[in-house]
Amino acid sequence: MATDDLMSRALETLADDDPLSVEAIRRLVDLADVPESMTITEAADLLDVSPHTLRYYERAGLVAVARDGSGHRVYDTEAVRRLVFLTRMRLSGMPMRDLQHYVSLVDAGEETVPERLDMLIEHRDTIRRRIRELTLSLTATEYKIATYGGSTGPDVHSLDPTTS
């Protein structure tokens, strides 16, 4: 089940007009269906990233991965859970240096919770700004579609030049 499938599963539980909830995210990272240990290929398929990306995350110090007797990587549930978080943060635009700092704080213990919280609040604000920018771009695109006589989404019908 790739990350897109995990996200789709979480989003399907919500109505179109409901905001995402913490519970939806818990369902997203619920790894009950995931084997207790996976190869790099299996983990990469689950997360919809390349094995190269997983090796990069390991070299960057973002995740610790055990090795079997043959020296092959073995991804346990804890590593996969961290990788789900890391891939979501990368997808949302968090820079690698920020992820490395965040992970170092996590690894340093509970006394770093306030700094981690500050980092996440700042990143949330960045994501919200990007969402507003993308919403404006979507609205402009919908307007152009309407200009050419195409059908637009429900949120931009008021921009239809034939009705104003």
- Residue 164 to residue 160: CA distance in whole angstroms: 7
CA distance 36 to 38: 7
Q: Of the given ranges (14-23, 90-99, 129-138), which has the lowest mean pLDDT?
A: 14-23
- In percent, how much of the chain has pLDDT > 70? 73
pTM for this one?
0.70
Q: Where are the domains of the chain?
A: 1-94, 109-164
CATH 1.10.1660.10 fits 1-94, yes or no: yes
Q: Which of 36, 38, 39, 10 is nearest to 24 (CA)?
A: 10
119/71 Cα distance (integer angstroms): 35
pLDDT digits (tens, 9 = 90+) for 75-124: 999 999 999 999 999 999 999 999 999 999 999 999 999 999 999 999 99
Q: What is the pLDDT of residues 19-40, one digit of tens each?
A: 555 555 555 556 667 778 899 9
More confident residue, 12 or 101: 101
Exposed e or buried b per residue across 41-69, where buried means at least 16 C-beta atoms within 10 angstroms of its C-beta: eebbbbbbbeeebbeebbeeebbebeeee
